[in-house]
């Protein structure tokens, strides 16, 4: 089992640029969660999907953030346009009934 | 809404000694899961141990064990025979148990340093 896969692992971009983060779920899992980790706010939920359907996106900070799940195993988180305050580590996690909270390695985003 | 509180921002322990990290939570739910995650400097979130609230027996994984006190809403992590590789941030987390999957609510974390 390859675990949750995230790409890229590191991203450095300039303010105003579009950023796309990618996540592949563990095979057989049906839920996907996007979290963001910063020093100030700790780990916070951005959005999550069950069976490809977005359930709660109240954690998405602004309209600049969007997330999609085009199929059962893959998701993207897009920031457009990016700002320096978006700099953080972004984690994707997947789960299935009875199995909770398997995290990907994270994407460290730096917006200059 | 559920909240998770870790009251110890930092702790240290001598190698081979035992250390206990505290966690309390607040919820009106009766069925839920509790977790401890380890985050080393690599930033990877590693699941250390998981407890199901309906199970009275405390979970154990090798050197890691929990003291789950449901009435007190307390979920502490004990690390026995501490090793240098245990140095990391430790996060306590909560999620509801229902037919669908729900997100984790995290505490602020405890930074543990194991000293040689």
pLDDT for the residue numbered B102? 85
Angstrom distance (rounded) from CA A67 to CA A65: 7
| pLDDT tens digit sequence for A63-105 | 999 999 999 899 999 999 999 999 999 999 998 876 677 899 9
Inter-chain contacts counted by CB atoms under 8 A, chains A and B: 58
Q: What is the DSSP string of B12-80?
A: EEETT--EEE--EEE-S-SSEEEEEEEE-TT---EEEEEEETT--SPPEETTEEEEEETTTTEEEEEE-
The band of A1, judged by pLDDT with boundaries at 50, 70 and 90, is low
Sequence-ordered list of residues with C-beta below 8 angstroms from that of A51, at least 6 positions apart, any chain: A30, A31, A72
Contact A30 B109 (CB under 8 A): no
Contact A42 B106 (CB under 8 A): yes
* Strand order across the beta sheet in which A65-71 lies: A5-7, A19-24, A74-79, A65-71
A56 contacts chain B (CB < 8 A): yes
Residue in chain A lying closest to B50 (CA)? A100
pLDDT for the residue numbered A47? 96
Q: Count of CB atoms within 10 A of residue B32's CB?
A: 20
Whether the per-residue pLDDT at A2 is higher than 90: the answer is no
Residue in chain B lying closest to A57 (CA)? B103
Residues of chain B predicted below pLDDT 70:
99-100
| pLDDT tens digit sequence for A36-56 | 999 999 999 999 999 999 999
Angstrom distance (rounded) from CA A85 to CA A14: 12
- Torsion angle of C-alpha atoms B90, A37, B44, A66, degrees rounded to 10: 140
* Mean confidence (pLDDT) of chain B: 94
């Amino acid at each position: 089992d390859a675990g949750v896969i995230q790409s890229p692992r590191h991203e450095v971009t300039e303010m105003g640029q579009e950023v796309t983060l990618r996540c592949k779920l563990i095979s057989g899992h049906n839920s996907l969660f996007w979290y963001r980790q910063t020093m100030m706010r700790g780990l916070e939920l951005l959005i999550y999907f069950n069976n490809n359907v977005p359930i709660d996106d109240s954690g998405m900070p602004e309209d600049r953030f969007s997330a999609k799940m085009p199929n059962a195993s893959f998701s993207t988180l897009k920031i457009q346009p990016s700002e320096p305050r978006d700099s953080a580590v972004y984690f994707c996690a997947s789960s299935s009934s009875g199995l909770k909270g398997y995290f990907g390695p994270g994407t460290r985003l730096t917006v200059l | 809404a559920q909240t998770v509180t870790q009251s110890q921002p930092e702790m240290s322990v001598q190698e081979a000694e035992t250390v206990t990290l505290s966690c309390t939570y607040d919820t009106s739910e009766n069925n839920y899961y509790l977790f401890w995650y380890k985050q080393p400097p690599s930033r990877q979130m590693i699941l250390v141990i998981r407890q199901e609230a309906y199970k009275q027996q405390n979970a154990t994984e090798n050197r890691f064990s929990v003291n789950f006190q449901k009435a007190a809403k307390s979920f502490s992590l004990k690390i026995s025979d501490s090793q240098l590789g245990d140095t990391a941030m430790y996060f306590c987390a909560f999620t509801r148990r229902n037919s669908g999957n729900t997100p984790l609510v995290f505490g602020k974390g405890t930074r543990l340093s194991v000293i040689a």
